[in-house]
Amino acid sequence: MAIRCRPMRPKDVPPCVEIVSRHPFIAPRYGHALEELGPVWLSLLGQDAFRAYVYEDLQDSAPRLLGIGGSAIITDAFLKHAKTPPFFWIGAELTRLVQFGQSPLLSDKQVREANSNGGINLTVWEGAVNVEDMLRPEVSHSFLSTFIEVHRGFLLKEIVGQGSTDDTLAAVLRAGYLYISKKTGEYTETIDKPPDELIREPHLTGLSRDLAPSRMGTWASTLFAYEAPRFRFPAGEQRLLLVSLLGGTDEDLAKELGISLSAVKKTSHSIYERVSACDPELAPPSEEGTSERGKTKKQRLIVYLRDHPEELRPAREN
């Protein structure tokens, strides 16, 4: 089975909320807040602090939605609140706070500043799979591995989250995350209940920058590996590059971003000029040549960006 992870679009919100509403463990966590989840997600789409993505099964002729993943870049105050016992359901609390105009998510400017100086706090908002796909190991493996890919490259201070099933909770602990004690709010390797009991009540797992070296070699620790970006692409150029990683022609990019083809070409030219000024070998200066030469330059840059995700994360521009 081929699974694709891509950014959430406005039209994805209703079916994603439906997946959450049918999930046997996640739906009860929201209570009445579930009614506001769709409008809240729609209001946050496009903000740097809200990172929402969908998973699709590409095996059939038409992609089939498998599930939803989402995270939020949050204030220090909300992180402290979340880690102070007694714990609460993070998704429901975020929904409620955003709904009433008390969002703990950072603004775009705050995200760029924090990711350039000091670091960000990340919380998993949601990770829900279709009921009929919950027991497929390749799906849960894809969710965990692509979560790492989506969030690599940030200057991360701390990450916290809650398991959606006992299997996912066990998987994140195997991946290097630690349990947060319900008594002290401190990280520990010892859980006080079996996973199948823990997921039925508010709980927390996570990892901090200070503790990441002790988990070296695990998937979780790779989130804290960081290099400062070299090119510092503006937001518009980053959006084009993020969509470019999914493949497609310039026409496909224009359709996905809702901009003209000429805007795509202009932004691409600006990207290559920026990269060329910093690293001429990666993107040789523009010159007369074939379209094939342009394709080679694009492919070379895409390969570089896959290995250097920090270039696609919000940061202070030069």
Q: Residue type at 247?
A: G
pLDDT at res. 135: 83
Tokens standing for residue 32 = 């009445």
Average pLDDT over residues 276-297: 72
Ranges of each domain in the chain: 3-222, 235-312
Please check the confidence at residue 286 and state whether its pLDDT lies above 80. Answer: no
Task: Tell me which residue has tokens 């709980």.
Answer: 203
Dist. CA 150–CA 173, nearest whole Å: 19
Mean pLDDT across the chain, nearest whole number?
Answer: 91
Instruction: State residue 292's pLDDT score.
Output: 46
Question: How remote is the C-alpha of 13 from its chain's centroid?
Answer: 16
pLDDT per residue over 26-58, tens digit each? 999 999 999 999 999 999 999 999 999 999 998
State what percent of residues in the chain have pLDDT above 70.
Answer: 97
| Per-residue confidence band for 288, with pLDDT thresholds at 50, 70 and 90 | very low
Domain 3-222, CATH among 3.40.630.30, 3.40.50.2000, 1.10.760.10, 3.30.110.30: 3.40.630.30
State the Cα angle at 207 between 54 and 135, rounded to 5°.
40
- Which range of 55-69, 93-107, 231-245 scores highest in mean pLDDT? It is 93-107
Res. 233: pLDDT tops 90: yes
Residue-level pLDDT at 208: 98
Place 294 in a pLDDT band, splitting at 50, 70 and 90. Answer: low
pTM of this prediction? 0.92
Tokens found for residue 18: 């439906």
